[in-house]
Amino acid sequence: MTDLKYPLKDNTIPLWAVPIIAIIMPLIVIIVFYFIRKNVYDLHQGVLGLLFSVLITAVITDAIKDAVGRPRPDFFWRCFPDGKGVFHPVTGDVRCTGLKSVIKEGHKSFPSGHTSASFAGLGFLALYLSGKLRAFDRQGHIAKLCIVFLPLLLAALVGVSRVDDYWHHWQDVFAGGLLGITVASFCYLQFFPPPYDVDGWGPHAYFQMLSESRNGGQSESNAMNSLTVRQAESGTVYSRPDQAVETSEVITQVTSSILDDLERGRRY
């Protein structure tokens, strides 16, 4: 139990600050890009992807915490606030004397929720920035890469603070960061092309709208051409009765002349 006797400390980054880091900050950046480019598709898909990333990560993290139940590094002082361990005389089982809520929280070390949420939100932001700035256009712009890695650096600092506060083991932080960045990658690719793609600067929905607009324009042009052809054909059809009338008049005149000749005996 030596690795569980670290002192009980307050959080350097409190729980209420996690939504600000993981959601509010990326949202501000997405909104700024909306005002620059005026692309409502990008705003809509960016917000959806960010929220999906953080919420899915939070659900998975809580499920793993409850299933694993790994003690935190400060679990001894949660279990024995007075520093005196109490054990069953026969079985040797631990008998905690601390508050039940504090003890229950002490069994949620793996994985780190602060770290997973931070990497989910800021990892999504890093992918979003890499697409918008075209960081992987093979032009050698180091400044773009520095901007892209800033959110990841902030998320890593959150993880370091969790180990420094003795709320998590380093394995908890590593697993939380891996979980967050994995979910962020899946959610980003659901709404956007890969950042290294030629069209990585815009969402899938925007390019789909452009494709449908082009197809709609071609369909309208084809419909107009078809209508013109039909009108031409209908004009030809309506001109045929006039020709038939003229032909019938000629036949009638010829027939009348023949009948007149027969009556007058000219035929014979």
Residue of 107, 141, 168, 169 marked catalytic:
168
Are 71 and 35 contacting, i.e. CB atoms less than 8 angstroms apart? Answer: no
Are 123 and 155 contacting, i.e. CB atoms less than 8 angstroms apart? Answer: yes
Q: Which residues pair with 87 in a beta bridge?
A: 94
Cα distance between the two ends of the chain: 140
Are 177 and 119 contacting, i.e. CB atoms less than 8 angstroms apart? Answer: yes
Task: Examine the residue annotation and report whether 88 is marked as an active-site residue of this protein.
Answer: no
Helices (H), 3-39: 17-19, 25-37
Are 66 and 162 contacting, i.e. CB atoms less than 8 angstroms apart? Answer: no
Helix 113-132 crosses helix 142-164 at what angle (to 10 degrees)?
180
Task: Examine the residue annotation and report whether 114 is marked as an active-site residue of this protein.
Answer: yes
Helix 113-132 crosses helix 40-68 at what angle (to 10 degrees)?
160
Are 155 and 177 contacting, i.e. CB atoms less than 8 angstroms apart? Answer: yes
By CB atoms closer than 10 A (0-12, 13-18, 19+), residue 80 is middle
Residue of 44, 107, 114, 204 marked catalytic:
114
Are 180 and 85 contacting, i.e. CB atoms less than 8 angstroms apart? Answer: no
Q: For residues 143 and 57, what is the distance between their CA atoms, to the nearest angstrom?
A: 30
User: Would you please indicate which residues are annotated as catalytic (active-site) residues?
Assistant: 114, 168
